[in-house]
Structure 1
């Protein structure tokens, strides 16, 4: 992209006498007493426009150039290119640079080797520039350069050399993992970074083999499969999927040929024995690829995948909430709701559930229990799940739905598969069967998208299909909560054995909630509040918290009138659809 051009400034010799221009115009050419990185770059950028890189131009900027030569350790032409790249903020082609400088493209390309020294120094990366006339080679600054210059400092690239095998793969995994969820990141940049990283550590067996291939897509693919091994070693989800590869590599002949070679088993990485099709129940899965034993032994003998998601879950059980850590909390519901909750709690008790599951199995029926809690926000769905877990002595494996989504197509599906794989493992190793808990599950149980066009829709549909399959063969306990059921997929509706609606509390129940939250108010005051305000339990808790905060600040409890003011403020928030506070 070309630089947004400023009004052209002529060189001093073109201006003539002082009488031809106002004094303020001439002041613009006065040099400051002290240069900064930004003021020096700005002066060079101004004088470079339409300068044709003439001798006169170089003479006119010799002072800011001398300052920047010392501060940034760059050559003169690198500094000019840096000034243009900073101003552009986007990739620039040789033509973009020549247009700004007012000279031919060849005149700029004379300096191409020196300008590309910015890539060697890792200040910039190569990036194609696309316009109406095609695709052109270009450069763009790496992240962090402008921030350093803005603080009057030289940019210091991250250290990428001298790594051990363990450090190399861990750093590679962190870089790729970080960029997965960064919308600013592009895989093209990742490929360049991975290649530079491998070159900087050519003493390692893995890097030596990567550099033996002369195709960047082959090189990056081997490193991506190493990342997959680092993240999923030892789990059912190990293996890079063709879906992920499709989402990363461009639709062009070279990459399409690579995909064909992978599925046929003729790809160079398969031929040399470093990659193989994943074996699934004795059958080769031609759409999933993993490292061979040879690769792990010869290229990664000194590496242990200690950061793999599978190991993390095994060692730390980071999703597991122990039932003993859940605090007891009094909950109040309408009679019909309370009966359903009590019945389900009894069913899930350690005394009842094994007998019920055994009887179901004897009759050839599914023995898993999938339950859906639905209702308005603040009606106690989440807290009910916690209290059921506490009362039945069952630990809770709570799943972060948003965390399952992955920018790379195919990885989200692996994430959700790993959730169920780990849950099954917990069921086998735990003394008491835990509960798998999908809180606020609206995003993954809504109606599947038909006639999908976008990769996000395909990913969501694929995730939903996996969840449906897993519920079908579930042997344990799954509870999902949602605020909305109008868009619930019919396939999910059929698979939830228990569907429990949580209604807003009636006046009698609200009175109990008010008294439990504000223990110093009278029964009559609590009834008055319950009658006047149609609040959920979560909203009442909001009011109680506000009253407690005011007590901490003032040293006195709010009166009934002041509590009603809190309530009216809560109603105002609802009226404007900007509700703040507790949700279930």
Structure 2
């Protein structure tokens, strides 16, 4: 193979070239069962380690793009044999059709074994959908994969299994986008069946299918209810509170009974988020007690909020609100600079009020497609409601470092990320509006807070750095052997947050472990100077009033 590659470079595929490698080609034809030009292209793809367009292959061989395309039939045969897969490539001038090696081919050749593509025929319904789900999941998470490659793979999978009712019906349609859409809704059904997340959203469909006439027509027909899959009775609008939502689509009962009667959904997304939710849920018993220090005027605000959320007071407060036709949910925003104790305050409130904590991983909510991100965030609130129903004491839903989710929504959307964030924000706004429980969000940034979020937070608590008296107490709590005088000196000389003071205490402990001696006051001051940042920017306050105090470490 290496000899073929060396001779192929700049060869122009002349007769002399083919003559020079006739012996290696004869050996490889016998070993691999493929023809000469297929061997040459295989060698180039192995060497490149990335997809190659017709033009790039031609450049290597010193041939024109048109000359390379005369071998289309041979390359297509390698795709049908599933040695090659179609894969677009980004090059100067645009995005071009290309080809890449199938998974596992390199491994087989490296071990001098003949590559045997994955078996895709003779599958049962369960095997078919499981394979479909596995392949599509990998494709959606691979930024190098184009959905059109997956479309062609899905059709080939159906052609290999015409005995299955689903495949038989898919192949009845002559439009590849119609075929793939039905299979994508089956894919969605496999992951989300029976949950709030079930249903393929128009946002996901728009991300998958290109902006061209055929696909725009597909989207229009879906919204108007005249799409072939709707007319065939295989997909329908998702029902929300008794209303059909023409922006989300799911399999009909007819499709499930006639096309997938022997299939048991994997619920892979449900399990994934069930495990994730289990990791999110933190028992109040597991939270270690920690003494927090606040400025005098702020101590009252935290104590008041803790009292409101206590097991004794909160149920009666909710009852009174409901009797007066007001929303029962408590949404709170803790905001202020890093290290000022926002997160620890939430933990201690949970511990003191006997409430478990469901902490949300914001980054984990984002998916490659906007519609999937919507599902993820909806699933969080659905899971929270479920936990509330099954708990004697309502837990706290905790969005830590929620800066990206509560900032101002983008008005002039140019990127899919903006679209995704706006969609997630709109869902959170509605969920806060309908909230029956307790939500606490923390953020470092408030100057860009969306006004709609500002209105929905019932309590907004700003976290300032502590004053000198409080800082002195924090120094003494962190360094037990520190005298009152030294603690006061450090507090007055350095404008630190509680988190920064904790850093100093940790450095002192590390040095003690290494040297066996505690740092002197002078050494502590050196630590402090190293801890200081050159640029201290002022924080912006949130407009409005409600528990307007601030907390510290």
TM-score, normalising length: structure 1: 0.82
- Which SS does the other structure have where 1:273 is aligned? coil
What are the superposed Cα offsets for residues 324-373 of structure 1, whole Å, 9 maximum, x if unpaired?
Answer: 22222222222222221111000000100111111122222222111100
Out of 458, 462, 468, the residue aligned to residue 419 of structure 2 is 458
**Alignment RMSD, CA only?**
3.4
Q: 1:394-405 to 2 correspondence within 5 Å?
A: 394-405=355-366
- 1:68–1:543: structure 2 CA closer, same or farther, 3 Å change rule? farther
Out of 202, 208, 212, the residue aligned to residue 248 of structure 1 is 208
- Which SS does the other structure have where 2:370 is aligned? coil
- 1:95–1:345: structure 2 CA closer, same or farther, 3 Å change rule? closer
Q: 1:484-503 to 2 correspondence within 5 Å?
A: 484-503=445-464
Out of 426, 444, 449, the residue aligned to residue 405 of structure 2 is 444
Q: Which residue of 2 aligns with 1:224?
A: 184
Q: Which residue of 2 aligns with 1:300?
A: 260
User: Shift in Å at residue 102 of structure 1?
Assistant: 4.8
User: Shift in Å at residue 268 of structure 1?
Assistant: 2.5
Distance (whole Å) between structure 2 residues aligned to residue 116 and residue 143 of structure 1: 17
Distance (whole Å) between structure 2 residues aligned to residue 371 and residue 133 of structure 1: 51
Q: Which residue of 2 aligns with 1:521?
A: 482
Unaligned residue ranges in structure 2 (runs of 5+): 537-551
- Which SS does the other structure have where 2:499 is aligned? helix
- Which SS does the other structure have where 1:411 is aligned? helix
Q: Which residue of 1 aligns with 2:41?
A: 81
Q: Which residue of 1 aligns with 2:549?
A: none
Q: Which residue of 2 aligns with 1:505?
A: 466
Out of 139, 142, 151, the residue aligned to residue 99 of structure 2 is 139
Q: Which residue of 2 aligns with 1:320?
A: 281
Q: Which residue of 2 aligns with 1:544?
A: 505
Tell me if the contact between 1:233 and 1:308 (Cα under 8 Å) persists in the aligned partners: no
Distance (whole Å) between structure 2 residues aligned to residue 223 and residue 328 of structure 1: 52
User: Shift in Å at residue 50 of structure 1?
Assistant: 4.3
Determine whether 1:425 maps to 2:386.
yes
Q: Which moved more, 1:169-178 or 1:433-442?
A: 169-178
Give the structure, 1 or 2, with the largest relative contact order (CA under 8 Å, sep 6 or more).
Answer: 2
Determine whether 1:125 maps to 2:102.
no
What are the superposed Cα offsets for residues 432-453 of structure 1, whole Å, 9 maximum, x if unpaired?
Answer: 1111111111101111122323
Q: Which residue of 1 aligns with 2:438?
A: 477
Q: Which moved more, 1:517-526 or 1:500-509?
A: 517-526
User: Shift in Å at residue 276 of structure 1?
Assistant: 1.4
User: Shift in Å at residue 180 of structure 1?
Assistant: 3.7
Unaligned residue ranges in structure 1 (runs of 5+): 1-36, 578-582
Tell me if the contact between 1:278 and 1:290 (Cα under 8 Å) persists in the aligned partners: yes
User: Shift in Å at residue 498 of structure 1?
Assistant: 0.7
Distance (whole Å) between structure 1 residues aligned to residue 6 and residue 438 of structure 2: 68
Tell me if the contact between 1:180 and 1:406 (Cα under 8 Å) persists in the aligned partners: no
Tell me if the contact between 1:404 and 1:416 (Cα under 8 Å) persists in the aligned partners: yes
Out of 18, 24, 42, the residue aligned to residue 58 of structure 1 is 18
- Which SS does the other structure have where 1:575 is aligned? coil
Q: Which residue of 2 aligns with 1:435?
A: 396
- 1:62–1:344: structure 2 CA closer, same or farther, 3 Å change rule? same
Distance (whole Å) between structure 1 residues aligned to residue 485 and residue 320 of structure 2: 50
Distance (whole Å) between structure 2 residues aligned to residue 97 and residue 460 of structure 1: 40
Out of 274, 278, 284, the residue aligned to residue 234 of structure 2 is 274
Determine whether 1:350 maps to 2:311.
yes
- 1:106–1:175: structure 2 CA closer, same or farther, 3 Å change rule? closer
Out of 307, 327, 336, the residue aligned to residue 375 of structure 1 is 336
User: Shift in Å at residue 256 of structure 1?
Assistant: 2.1
User: Shift in Å at residue 502 of structure 1?
Assistant: 0.9
Distance (whole Å) between structure 1 residues aligned to residue 527 and residue 92 of structure 2: 60
- Which SS does the other structure have where 1:412 is aligned? helix
What are the superposed Cα offsets for residues 428-486 of structure 1, whole Å, 9 maximum, x if unpaired?
Answer: 22111111111111101111122323332222222222222222222211110000111
Q: Which residue of 2 aligns with 1:172?
A: 132
Out of 361, 364, 367, the residue aligned to residue 406 of structure 1 is 367
Q: Which residue of 1 aligns with 2:199?
A: 239
Distance (whole Å) between structure 2 residues aligned to residue 543 and residue 131 of structure 1: 51
- 1:527–1:207: structure 2 CA closer, same or farther, 3 Å change rule? farther
Distance (whole Å) between structure 2 residues aligned to residue 126 and residue 282 of structure 1: 43
- 1:546–1:220: structure 2 CA closer, same or farther, 3 Å change rule? farther
User: Shift in Å at residue 163 of structure 1?
Assistant: 5.3
- 1:119–1:341: structure 2 CA closer, same or farther, 3 Å change rule? same
Distance (whole Å) between structure 2 residues aligned to residue 257 and residue 515 of structure 1: 70
Distance (whole Å) between structure 1 residues aligned to residue 110 and residue 503 of structure 2: 45
- Which SS does the other structure have where 2:256 is aligned? helix
Distance (whole Å) between structure 2 residues aligned to residue 558 and residue 354 of structure 1: 51
Distance (whole Å) between structure 2 residues aligned to residue 548 and residue 174 of structure 1: 50
Out of 384, 387, 405, the residue aligned to residue 348 of structure 2 is 387
- 1:197–1:535: structure 2 CA closer, same or farther, 3 Å change rule? farther
Distance (whole Å) between structure 2 residues aligned to residue 238 and residue 475 of structure 1: 23
- 1:331–1:200: structure 2 CA closer, same or farther, 3 Å change rule? farther
Tell me if the contact between 1:313 and 1:422 (Cα under 8 Å) persists in the aligned partners: no
User: Shift in Å at residue 386 of structure 1?
Assistant: 1.0
Q: Which moved more, 1:110-119 or 1:377-386?
A: 110-119
Q: Which residue of 1 aligns with 2:217?
A: 257
Determine whether 1:194 maps to 2:147.
no
- 1:103–1:449: structure 2 CA closer, same or farther, 3 Å change rule? closer
Give aligned pairs, total: 537
Distance (whole Å) between structure 1 residues aligned to residue 185 and residue 321 of structure 2: 43
